[in-house]
Structure 1
Amino acid sequence: MTPQPPGNRDKDAGRWSDLGRPPLNATALRRALVRPGALWTALDVVPATGSTNTDLAERAAGGAAEGAILVAEEQSAGRGRLDRTWSAPPRSGLFFSVYLTPRVPVERWGWLPLLAGVATATALSRTAGVDTALKWPNDLLVAVDGAERKAGGILAERAADGVVVGIGLNVTLTADELPVPGAGSLALAGARTTDRDPLLRAVLRSLDHWYGEWQTTNGDPAASRLQEAYAAGCATLGRTVRAELPGGTEIVGEAVAIDGDGRLVLATADGVQQPVGAGDIIHLRPAGGDAPEYPK
């Protein structure tokens, strides 16, 4: 049998149609992650869906417990912030959502997407050997041929009594499969492994760790060291950026800090330090022509 090139397989040809992109092993993943007393309580892998966030939110409304994980081998209607679309060939990445019901003050729940970013970036750095940076508020960046490229994104949405956090990550996409020129993948960044099973286990274990630390400190981003870790890995800090706001207004300034509410603090030319929240902006772009363009 001759395997088809990645991205060109016949969807009806069965599980062995693309040996270069093998299916996830749901049984092994459950055995490794779903244990008594652990955060993760259920794990399902589906061949395809529109959006794991939408599907898991429906399960949460139907009574799913905290720690439920839904993974899709293919996602046809994945969403990013402001309903921007996210798509990739089957089995070329990790597309999954988790359901969390934080027992911390609700005003601190806004840290969850940043927490997921820290957890994912640290796991990928250890497991794949890829230096992964964070673009505030919800993008994962890798270096491809010396340029920053978006390889993943995070979307947190309220659902039932908690939050569904969705993560999409390009793993084996080739250059000609990238949806836009500013995109990237772990493979293009020179990852030492693109085996999705250990990558998914590493990300979920890291998420368990950071979520536990954050909850232990009642959601305090400073005491849990989450704020410090995010700032250390945030590629946005130290750059002059333009925050485009609804209504055509904008704020230009140097990104100098992440505040206690997870907002980006911009130091403007008139000496004002202006915090902007993720829900307040439409785009965050470099302000000068000499700065590297952020992937969309």
Structure 2
Amino acid sequence: MTPPDASDANGNRWSDLDRPPLGSAALRRGLVREGGLWRDVQVVQRTGSTNSDLVALAAAGKADEGSVLVAEEQSSGRGRLDRRWTAPARSGLFFSVLLRPAEVPVERWGWLPLLTGVAVATGLSRAAGVDTALKWPNDLLVSVGGEERKAGGILAERVGPDGVVLGVGVNVSLRADELPVPQAGSLALAGAVSTDRDPLLRAVLRSLEEWYGRWRRAGGDPAASGVQEAYAAGCATLGRTVRAELPGERSVVGEAVALDGEGRLVIATEAGVQEPVGAGDIVHLRPA
């Protein structure tokens, strides 16, 4: 895999000693092993979007499954619904991975962003000591001063018939005056015991390797792999009154009661109807 701007040499990389740079070689030594999922790890200083870059590399046949592309800074980072994701250089984890789950039926691939959420939350809990909750379908929440804040998100994009690129963005060391919006958060503001991105990234990628392996061995079955139970256990959306903003300018209000076998959020409305929602923007209307 040969991403743009792949050199670790940059005149400004030591300009903020509180935010030391990541190193491709060190990460490869710690993560790439015989028989493991991760085949290559590349760190670039600045790019538009790691997802866009890795999608292009995969489409051109220049990236294998298990390729990881990390950026110290993204100028055009994207979330769901084409929302922009911006943060100062070296203040977070901004990376994408390429997966090719050939042995899993395509209809179960919708679980991949949810699985990634479980893996990221698990890895951050272990390495940063921060309780990270999941907002369906792909937001990472932390508590800052008793208030629920978004600290990260996940974006999945198909690549050809057999590939998926999963992008992850997590605010790590952002201070209050650096937040893109007042409702955002970071691991530092949530009281993380460590904001060293090297061990945080290693923990997240090892967790993702573990959960992805379970899911693949189970043929993508969310129940048999434990992914469905783990996501439900860590999901801050379940048990809440929510409003789902759906395609076509339709909305549904009710209690989020379950996650079904397809990864959809089941909302019980006041009319007594249980409506599964597979895509949309979810607004939490009251605390759990």
Name the TM tier (shorter chain).
over 0.9
Say yes or no: does 1:19 pair with 2:20: no
- Of 57, 66, 71, the residue aligned with 2:55 is 57
Say which SS state the counterpart of residue 248 (structure 2) adopts.
helix
Which residue in 2 is equivalent to 1:239? 240
Residue by residue over 1:32-69, the C-alpha shift from the partner in whole angstroms, topping out at 9 and shown as x without a partner, is 11112110011100000000000001111122110000
Say which SS state the counterpart of residue 250 (structure 1) adopts.
strand
Amino acid at match of 2:249: G
Which residue in 1 is equivalent to 2:199? 198
Which residue in 2 is equivalent to 1:77? 76
Cα distance in 2 for partners of 1:43, 1:159 equals 19
Alpha-carbon shift at residue 220 of structure 1 (Å): 0.1
Alignment of 1:146-295 (within 5 A): 146-160=146-160, 161-278=162-279, 281=280, 283-287=281-285, 291=286
Residue by residue over 1:118-155, the C-alpha shift from the partner in whole angstroms, topping out at 9 and shown as x without a partner, is 00001111111000000000000000000010000000
Cα distance in 2 for partners of 1:123, 1:55 equals 25
Cα distance in 1 for partners of 2:237, 2:133 equals 9
Residue by residue over 1:57-109, the C-alpha shift from the partner in whole angstroms, topping out at 9 and shown as x without a partner, is 11111221100000000001011011111010000000000000012000000
Gaps of 5+ in 1: 1-11
Alpha-carbon shift at residue 256 of structure 1 (Å): 0.4
Contact 2:237 2:284 in 1 (8 A): no
Distance 1:240 1:32, change over 3 A: same
Say which SS state the counterpart of residue 70 (structure 1) adopts.
strand
Alpha-carbon shift at residue 13 of structure 1 (Å): 4.3
Alpha-carbon shift at residue 246 of structure 1 (Å): 2.5
Which residue in 1 is equivalent to 2:110? 110
Gaps of 5+ in 2: 1-9
Structure 1: 4+ residue segments shifted above 3 A: none
Amino acid at match of 1:186: L
The percent of aligned pairs where both chains have the same amino acid is 73
Residue by residue over 1:257-288, the C-alpha shift from the partner in whole angstroms, topping out at 9 and shown as x without a partner, is 0100000000111211110002xx2x21134x
Alpha-carbon shift at residue 247 of structure 1 (Å): 2.7
State the TM-score, normalized to the length of structure 1.
0.91
Contact 2:171 2:185 in 1 (8 A): yes
Which residue in 2 is equivalent to 1:7? none
